[in-house]
Amino acid sequence: MAVELYLDLFSQPCRSVFMFAKKNNIPFEFKKVSLMDGEHYGDDFGKISIIRKVPALRDGDFCLSESIAIMVYLAEKFQTPDFWYPADLQQRARVNEYLSWQHTAIRMQGSKMFWLRLMIPKMIGMEVPKEKMDGALEDLNNSLNLIEEKFLQDRPFIVGDQMSLADLVAIVEIMQPLGAGLDVFDGRPKLSAWRDRVRTFIGEELFDEAHQNILGAQEGMKQIDPSKLELFKPKILRLFL
């Protein structure tokens, strides 16, 4: 039985897992969980994960959530090339360091920007106070600065000459605000060059396939029934406002 991956490519961590599995030719069954339709709150998905988030993995009886845990599990199980999660003590530490830092930094801020710029105004119809927007942008820029100054520096990739899980996890988060029309690469040649290297390393077709939904979000929003998001309103308000 093939591994099942429960994914929605609107979600950044789902994109990392998707690209990782495809790039490494790991056989899996793509199980779509539509976040817009609230499928992650359904009974079926509840049996996979009571955390009710994507991505999730099912391998026989074993169910696992959290993209980082999933990718490390797949890396080990399918013996993917060392550079993804190096065995070397210090290199692995550098990957772990990025994977840890990013949760409350770029991941949170990229997501927030996507919601503040697109989802909240367009879907929920709320005006976002300028102060909130400015604060969010400042935080996002601080994270992007740190990515360039601490994590990348003058290296081609975060850990060195080769791509690792760190770059894979970083790129999907940095791409998220683009879906809301904010080009974070503008004025950042170092970051742009890194993005190009990452896209080449992963494979342009695969990278673009993974990002098709998010980059089409602004258009896609026009067709979605706003009443669907009523479900998420209280949570979003608490999360972002």
Footprint of another protein (CB under 8 A): 50-51, 62, 64-70, 72-73, 76-77, 89-90, 92-94, 96-97, 99-101, 103-104, 107-108, 132, 135, 139, 146, 149-150, 238
Could you tell me the smallest distance in angstroms from the CB atom of residue 187 to another protein? 20
The CB-of-68 to another protein minimum distance in angstroms stands at 5
What distance in Å separates the CA atoms of residue 158 and residue 164, rounded to the nearest whole number? 8
Nearer residue to another protein within complex by CB, 218 or 240: 240
Q: Whose Cβ is closer to another protein: residue 222's or residue 238's?
A: 238
By beta-carbon proximity to another protein, the closer residue of 2 and 50 is 50
> Element (H or E) spanning 19, and its range?
helix 12-23
Tokens 């000459």 -> residue:
161
CA angle 68, 55, 194 (to 5 degrees): 55
Instruction: Supply angle C-alpha 109, 113, 116, rounded to 5.
Output: 130
Q: Least separation, in Å, of the C-beta of 73 and another protein?
A: 4
The residue (of 132 and 199) whose beta carbon lies closer to another protein is 132
Shortest reach from residue 195's CB to another protein, in Å: 22
In the complex, the smallest distance separating the C-beta of residue 15 from another protein, rounded to whole angstroms, is 16
At 124, the amino acid letter reads I
The 3 state secondary structure assigned to 155-191 is CCCCCCCCCCHHHHHHHHHHHHHHHHCCCCCCCCHHH
Return the half-sphere exposure (C-beta side, CA atoms, 13 A cut-off) of residue 196.
7
Of 37 and 66, the one with the shorter C-beta distance to another protein is 66
- Minimal distance in Å, beta carbon 50 to another protein? 5
- CB atoms < 10 A from the CB of 222, how many? 7
Q: Which is nearer to another protein, 92 or 199 (CB)?
A: 92
User: Do strands 3-7 and 28-32 pair parallel, antiparallel, or not at all (unpaired)?
Assistant: parallel
**Cβ pair 158, 99 in contact under 8 A:** no
